[in-house]
Amino acid sequence: MPESTIEAGVKSSTVTTEVRGNVLLIGLNRPDKKNALTGEMFSALADAYKRYDSDDDLRCAVLYGEGGVFCAGADMTQLKELVESGALVYNEGEYDPFGMEGSRLSKPLISAVHGMCFAGGLELALAGEFIVAAEGTLFGQPEVLRGVFAFGGGAARWAERVGYANAQRYLLTGNHLDSTEAFRIGLVQEVVPAAELFDRALGLANEIAAAAPMGVHHSLAVSRIAAAEGTTAALKAVPQLRSEVVGSSDAAEGVASFLERRAGVYTGN
């Protein structure tokens, strides 16, 4: 993973950010604790997400983990306090890293995972658009074995990703699965050699960042409506979004670049 730099607005060195062109890299940086999530990290992630969503120059983000693993989940020694203190409650304008409350990212987030992707760490990854995994990564949603359940979005999102029965196979047992099985059932979308993970995730992020921002935004918006409310609701949202995009400068640039046989240069207008 890259050498990351602390950016303005991120409160904690346990979460790092770095800008690469139009891509924001967000790193979990508590490697000595397997990047186990703390209240400080949730707060810093929320700040990083807010910064990403509010900066028009940033068009895609990659979430990754420093050290030997992506994330082992929430720090169990702090979990009860986190919940009871209200630290995981988010209001409008605040960005829940689990994407359940408050404001949600309107731009794509790619999760690049390696080593271990468990519990709350897997829920962070599932809150993004898709997951790229290193070969040999282990996945698990073991909350039922620890007296709780996957309340960071996992209990809902697994079924969306892999289907109801596949979801229950792992949610109800807490069993682990490897990257090969995770790919087979659709939990992850690509598996690459560990040495290639960062470059592949960044490459995909750059491809997204090079596309027309309004087109990406509207594609994401319709897809999310379909996932949350069904195809009928998503189709009803299309006409208004279509009218917004067809008259845009980016749509004109798309036609021009096609006719001129070159890559489009998009501004988001």
- Whether the CB-CB separation of 43 and 81 falls below 8 Å is answered with no
Catalytic residue among 18, 94, 129, 143: 143
146 shares its domain with 234: no
126 shares its domain with 218: no
pTM of model > 0.75:
yes
113 shares its domain with 164: yes
CB-facing half-sphere around the CA of 82: CA atoms within 13 A: 18
Catalytic (active site) residue 123: yes
Q: Please write the tens of the pLDDT for every residue from 13-54.
A: 899 999 999 999 999 999 999 999 999 999 999 999 999 999
| Residue 9 included in any domain | no
110 shares its domain with 173: yes
- Residue 43 vs residues 40, 89, 132, 140: alpha-carbon distances, Å: 5, 11, 25, 24
Which of the four pLDDT bands, split at 50, 70 and 90, describes residue 12? low
Catalytic (active site) residue 143: yes
Find the domain containing 217 and state its range. 213-259
Catalytic residue among 81, 123, 244, 253: 123
| Residue 3 included in any domain | no
Q: How many domains does the chain have?
A: 2
* Residue 4: predicted pLDDT: 41
The CATH number of residue 235's host domain is 1.10.12
121 shares its domain with 40: yes
112 shares its domain with 92: yes
The CATH number of residue 85's host domain is 3.90.226.10
